[in-house]
Structure 1
Amino acid sequence: MAAADDLRFDPWDPAFLADPYPAYAELRERGRVIHYAPTDQWLVPHHADVSALLRDRRLGRTYQHRFTHEDFGRTAPPAEHEPFHTLNDHGMLDLEPPDHTRIRRLVSKAFTPRTVEQLKPYVTQLAGELVDRLVEAGGGDLLSDVAEPLPVAVIAEMLGIPEADRAPLRPWSADICGMYELNPSEETAARAVRASVEFSGYLRELIAARRKEPGDDLISGLIAAHDEGDRLTEQEMISTAVLLLNAGHEATVNATVNGWSALFRNPGQLAALRADHTLVPAAVEELMRYDTPLQLFERWVLDDIEVDGTTIPRGAEVALLFGSANHDPEVFARPERLDLARTENPHISFSAGIHYCIGAPLARIELAASMTALLEKAPTLALAEEPKRKPNFVIRGLEGLSVTVSV
């Protein structure tokens, strides 16, 4: 075990947030597991360990299927945070078998590969329209003009949320996702609680309307989904819809702006991509690896585990460092180099094991559609000013990405 007292790893330091990858290299050199006192977590920086622990059933996203808070040596969340935890704790992301298995099986019935593939023409058309508007304006903010509206519209369309109701979706999602950062403040928690109440209330009304008049949307599909007598409860439907929205666009939005920011910093790779659009699928994978939108995934230790001779006891929390794993030189040749022609790319940006992202195929379609539209319709796309990094660590993104398009 290595100590972390003198490490450059500091999730609240703007210099670290600007470029965490040198600090990750230092972590990997220190060892396979490092205790980090500020969050009381065990940091796991190597690809092999992160990949293995994502599949290890001795770890879980929750412990409440086996232990009370007291039995697990933890304090229950404050009562005033209850609306957030009710919403969060009934979604697939924070459940373990058997509930996770049941809900994922039912959701998969309404979220099939065929359903996703049928969305491709809509995604392609919408991406083209958004880029056309950016070109007509001579540029703008790639984040608010293209990166955000595309996945928000797609998942809202899937869920059957009317266009007139979509404005609050992104703010609700951003406020809820604030709770996934390390040691969130009370102000962050208050915003998440308020968004949880408002979003849940809206979905409860929408579910009631779809019960009376079902459509061909995902909400109607979740209502109808059943298997051997199992159905989703109303709370599970609400939590699933919120999870699909949050996960369905947070990663895509941030992967888009992180990716284009990386391309602007690597003009040789951007030139190669502009010269050969068949590189787009490989570019999507490499950009997801190179500047990972989800940097950390937490797991509770349900039974003692051992990593490299260090016992991590039941009740502890591990921080699986996706960003570090995706830059591990044991797996990726010259990981610090952006290489759009990289053929072997087993990145773990979509997680692994039973919590592998159910929306990964859709995210790939969205990322490829927006990239292709920008390459084809905005070949002169250029950075207008240096972007500002959001002051977040877990969910890595930019405040905006100002660009120009010359005719």
Structure 2
Amino acid sequence: MAAVSDLAFDPWDPAFLANPYPAYAELRERGRVIRFEPTDQWLVPHHADVSALLRDRRLGRTYQHRFEHEDFGRTAPPAEHEPFHTLNDHGMLDLEPPDHTRIRRLVSKAFTPRTVDRLVPYVENLAGELVAALVAAGGGDLLTDVAEPLPVAVIAEMLGIPESDRAQLRPWSADICGMYELNPSEDTAARAVRASEEFSEYLRELIAARRKDPGDDLISGLIEAHDEGDRLTEQEMISTAVLLLNAGHEATVNATVNGWAALFRNPGQLAALRADHSLVPSAIEELMRYDTPLQLFERWVLDDIEIDGTTIPRGAEIAMLFGSANHDPAVFAAPERLDLTRRENPHISFSAGIHYCIGAPLARIELAASMRALLTQAPTLTLAADPERKPNFVIRGLEGLNVRVG
């Protein structure tokens, strides 16, 4: 087992955050599971193991469907964090069957392929307008001018959140998502709690309004969704709406800026994409693999498991390294090379198993719309300044991406 002191894996080191992939290669060489004391977790860096563990029912996003905190060898979260955990723990992402199965089935009745397909003209028109404004200005910050407003507006439109209320959604989401980083600070927790309270209260009022006056939106659909008399509770609707907003734009925002930063670093690939727009679908998959927006996904060990002769006991936490799995040479030929024509690309950026991202089709539509708009309207787009990496590990993104047109 590797000692912490001689691991290059350091999720708080700016040099590591700038480029974690060499450290992942070292982890894969060290073995299939590595104990990491600073976070009290077992790191899993190989694609085959991550893929299998995402489907392994001996692991769970929660343990509270089977164990009390004390029985599981864990302590309950601080009471002052309760608003965050009430919001977080009633969402599909942090539930296990049977609750997960019931809620996902009900949400799927509202979040249908037809619902997503109906949004395509809206997504493409909005992407075109945002890029046109960027071009008219001669450039700007691709993050704030295109990458953020597009998916936030799309999921808000889908949920039925009025345009006048949308400005507060991104700050709420950013504060809540801070709790998903490793060992979040008390200041981070306080911001997440405040955002959870404010966002929940806003949605409670919106749900009440939709009960009186239903519309053709996802909130109304969640209210109406039922199966054999079963319905979502109000808290489940609130948690679902927040999850869809947070997951529905965080990955898309970061995939957009990470992807374009990677294209600027690989001018040959960018030139090939500009010459052949039919590469857009495979380019999106490759960029999601190449610089993964969600680097780590956690699971609790509900029953002892064994990985390569090492027993991981019940009560332990496993950290599956998506970024490492997506660069595993056992699965991807020349994984450190950006190849927009890559044919076999079983990346796990959208997870797998029962927690596979329900919004993956929508994310792909948004990424394709913004990429095509930029390729068409800004064919000479260039990087105006070296981007600064956000000081986050789990959710990987940039502070901004300043670009120039012409």
Q: 1:405 and 1:14 mapped to 2: Cα distance?
A: 30
Number of the residue aligned with 2:355: 355
Number of the residue aligned with 2:42: 42
Number of the residue aligned with 1:280: 280
Shift of 1:294: 0.0
Number of the residue aligned with 1:405: 405
Number of the residue aligned with 1:325: 325
Q: 1:345 and 1:216 mapped to 2: Cα distance?
A: 36
The aligned runs of 1:6-405 (5 Å cut-off) are 6-405=6-405
- Native 8 Å contact 1:292 1:322 kept in 2: yes
SS of the residue aligned with 2:298? strand
SS of the residue aligned with 1:156? helix
Q: 2:40 and 2:198 mapped to 1: Cα distance?
A: 32
Q: 2:104 and 2:125 mapped to 1: Cα distance?
A: 30
- Native 8 Å contact 1:179 1:192 kept in 2: yes
Provide the aligned C-alpha RMSD in A. 0.5
- What stretches of structure 2 of length at least 5 have no aligned partner? none
SS of the residue aligned with 2:38? coil
Normalising by structure 2, what TM-score?
A: 1.00
Q: 1:198 and 1:92 mapped to 2: Cα distance?
A: 21
**How many residues of Structure 1 are paired with residues of Structure 2 in the alignment?**
406
Q: 1:400 and 1:185 mapped to 2: Cα distance?
A: 24
Shift of 1:2: 3.5
SS of the residue aligned with 1:32? coil
Normalising by structure 1, what TM-score?
A: 0.99
Q: 1:230 and 1:271 mapped to 2: Cα distance?
A: 53
Q: Deviations over 1:124-170 (max 9, x none)?
A: 00000000000000000000000000000000000000000001000
The amino acid across from 2:381 in the alignment is L
- Native 8 Å contact 1:4 1:34 kept in 2: no
Q: Deviations over 1:247-284 (max 9, x none)?
A: 00000000000000000000000000000000000000
SS of the residue aligned with 2:80? helix
Q: 1:320 and 1:91 mapped to 2: Cα distance?
A: 20
- Native 8 Å contact 1:2 1:33 kept in 2: no
Q: Deviations over 1:71-122 (max 9, x none)?
A: 0000100000000000000000000000000000000000011111111111
Q: 2:261 and 2:195 mapped to 1: Cα distance?
A: 30
Q: 1:131 and 1:388 mapped to 2: Cα distance?
A: 22
Q: 1:229 and 1:92 mapped to 2: Cα distance?
A: 20
Q: Deviations over 1:214-261 (max 9, x none)?
A: 001000000000001110000000000000000000000000000000
- What stretches of structure 1 of length at least 5 have no aligned partner? none
The amino acid across from 1:10 in the alignment is D
The amino acid across from 1:255 in the alignment is A
Q: Deviations over 1:329-378 (max 9, x none)?
A: 00000000000000000000000000000000000000000000000000
SS of the residue aligned with 2:107? helix
Q: 1:281 and 1:2 mapped to 2: Cα distance?
A: 39
The amino acid across from 1:385 in the alignment is A
SS of the residue aligned with 1:157? helix
SS of the residue aligned with 2:397? coil
